Structures are given as C-alpha cells and as structure tokens.
Amino acid sequence: MAYRPFAHTTERNIGFDSFTFDSPSMERHIKTLSTHCQVLSRPRHEEIIRDLDTRGYDNSRLLEKQYVLIGAAKAAYLIGKRMLYDLCESQGIPYRNCQKWILAQNNQQHEQLVKTHEFSKSIGVPTHFISLTEARTREPDVQAKKAVLESPTTGIIDSHSYMAYLESDFQSKGGDLACHTRVTEIEHQASGSQGYNIQTISSLGEPASITTETLINSAGLAAVPLSNNILPPDRHVKPYYAKGSYYSYAAARPRPKILIYPAPTTGAAGLGTHLTMDMTGAIRFGPDVEWVDDPNDLSVNESRLSAALDEIKAYLPSIDRERVMLDYAGIRPKLGQGSAVASGKGDGFSDFYIKKEEGFDGFINLLGIESPGLTSSLAIADMVDDLLYRE
C-alpha cells in the first residue's frame, strides 16, 4: 500500500470535515467518522504500524490488561473487550484466549484480590478464585502462596494485524491518511466562524494549511501538548510519561501458558512486573515504571533488571535469572504520577479524559489513553461518535 505526505510543492489550503490526530489505540474512531464525512488522519510516521512500534508496544497485546479497581471511564470501556473479540472473529485477526491469573502471596494481597473480584463482578467482567491445588496442577512452575484469581476471558491479540485491518477499512470508506507529516500550529477560527486551521510540514519541508470543522485529538503521547496548543492556559494540563521496560526469556523452562500478574498494589503507578506472551508463545516480563521527561526515550534501562528479577522470582521461583535479557521499552501517556489502581482514597488515580471541549465546537479531546486503551478502542470509538453525532 502506498503512503503519501500531506503536502505539495507549493503551499496548499485544503478543507476537511474532520481531522484526527491519530494514535494506534484509537484508530477505530476515524473509521466511524468516515461514514459521516470526509476525514483526514495524521500519523507522524510513514505508516500506522511503525507509529505503533515507536511507542514500544508488543506485537501481541492483552485484550484485558487491567480490570482492577479503576475509574468509571476505564471500567466502561473494558466492556469493549467483547467487541474486540467479535471483530477478530469476523475479520480473521489472530488472537488467543489464554486467560489470566492474579496472584496473592500474603493476606494483604488476598484482600486486594477480593476487592478486585467484587469490582469485576460489578462491571460484568467474569473472574473467579481457583484453589491453590488446582493452580499447582495446571501451572506447576507458578507460585501462589495465598490465592489465585482467574480471568477466563483475558487474551492476546496480534495488534499489527488489528491496525492493518483498521487502516484498510478506514481508507476503503474514503478516509485520507497523511503520513510523514508534523503539525506545527493549530488555530481555532475567530468568533463567528467554525472550525480549525492546522499548519503542517512534511518530512521534505513542504508546508500545508488544512481547515476542518471537527478536530479529534487522539495523539497518544502527543495528545497533551496538542491540547495545550489549542486550549487557553487556564485549561492546560501537564503530561507525564511512564516508561516501562520489558525483558525477554530465552530458556525452555519455566514457560507458563497463562498470563501471570502479581496482586495490584494501591498507590503504585503500574500493575507490577507481570508475565505476558506473544502469539508464538514466547514469554516476556514487564513493564516496570520509570518516569521520564522525553516521550521518545525508548532505551531499556539495565539498572532496573535486578529489581524486576526479584518481582518475577516471587511468582516464578524456578526462573533462570541468567536467561532473562533486556528486550524493549514503551511509554504510557499519563495525566499524573498517581496510582494505577483507584482506591477512592486520594491516591492520585487518573481516569481516561474523553470530552467535547466547552467553547471549542467540534473539538474532541482524548487524553491519558493508556492501558487499557487498546482493549477499549472500539468502545471509545463509539463514545466519540456519540459525542459528535448523538448528543
């Protein structure tokens, strides 16, 4: 498939009904919009799949990466997991329902799992406890001293195939995709006129001017800076970037076939160093949490390996430490450095921010779309569609 920069040898003025700053976890909503109007999507790189890779995402993503105590928005969108499974089935997108265990090693963690189980039931996500005897029989290399909470509907997806499908579907419905293109300025049109004027420049240095009535900011790591470029200073927010390093494992054993998570810790910015896998069955561990200032800093920090190994040994004691290697890193866009788990006790938890901005007609802002953004993407798309066309 050919890609083009959105530019020309001379400056151009181009009009669109809708313009989307694109993020891989939010690609679906531009498909929805393209059924209503002429749409332009602007990934920064030459293709959507590479845009996915620059954020450090894995080839296979969890369909239900988080259903612990979370905010209302994240909880609602996790229901979109069923939508994602249905799409994979109907379009032949590779996925695997491999299930997930969350492990408790002491009484305090067990109490947290009970809360997680109760909350999961409240939002319609099936979970159940299994006995330690059953756990040892099914996964003899996995250690759980106190309790095991199982999520039977959790799975993994080939995210590259998912993105390729969305891209093709978007373009087949008349959407335009502008790559190699950087936004330099966004201007809300003067009072009395609707829309936005967007200045861009291609990788060849060629400028373009784009006008649009609808502007959707789902730019992932760049979403907050773009929002701050549009909204007045009193509505600016500060972006936070949580880098997570992953570690590969080269040995044949142990090799569990179920996703393994430690019990969630209230106040922690992440969900712990857990065991995940790709569509081939290869396992890896991560992510941890390292706060960085540069959203392009995707270097894996070797100094964090020792602490990660200690976490892994707690639930996989037979792991060969010498065979755990540095793999890759990704960065999560966050709206604060608070807890990844909402306790309702001033823990600084930040929910998804999905809003039609007051005083800026046609501007939909999506900020802090981190985990479980990919799982939630189809449900988020429906909400964006509701905000634009059904309110």
- Each residue's pLDDT expressed in tens, for the chain with a length of 391 residues: 333 344 333 344 555 567 776 654 444 444 444 444 455 665 555 555 444 443 434 444 444 433 344 555 555 556 678 888 999 999 999 999 999 999 999 999 999 899 889 888 887 788 999 999 999 999 999 999 999 999 998 899 999 999 999 999 988 988 888 888 888 899 998 665 678 999 999 889 999 998 898 999 999 999 999 999 999 999 999 999 999 999 999 899 999 999 999 987 654 445 578 999 988 889 999 988 899 999 999 999 889 899 999 999 999 999 999 999 999 999 999 998 865 454 445 455 678 899 999 999 899 999 998 878 888 888 888 888 888 887 6
Q: How far is C-alpha 91 from the geometric centre of its chain's CA atoms?
A: 21
CA distance 317 to 253: 11
**pTM for this entry:** 0.82
Residues with Cβ within 8 Å of 5's Cβ and at least 6 positions away in sequence, in order, are 178, 179, 180, 181, 202, 203, 204, 206
CA distance 196 to 112: 47
332, 364 in Cβ contact below 8 A? no
CA distance 81 to 36: 25
Residue 34 has a pLDDT of 42
CA distance 207 to 104: 56
Give the closest residue to 216 by CA, choosing from 205, 202, 230.
Answer: 230
Residue 178 has a pLDDT of 82
Residue 100 has a pLDDT of 94
CA distance 360 to 113: 43
**What is the pairing mode between strands 176-179 and 4-5?**
parallel
Residue 10 has a pLDDT of 37
Task: Using the Cα atoms of residue 286, residue 92, residue 98 and residue 376 in order, give the sign of their dihedral.
Answer: positive
Which amino acid does the sequence have at 312? I
CA distance 227 to 218: 10
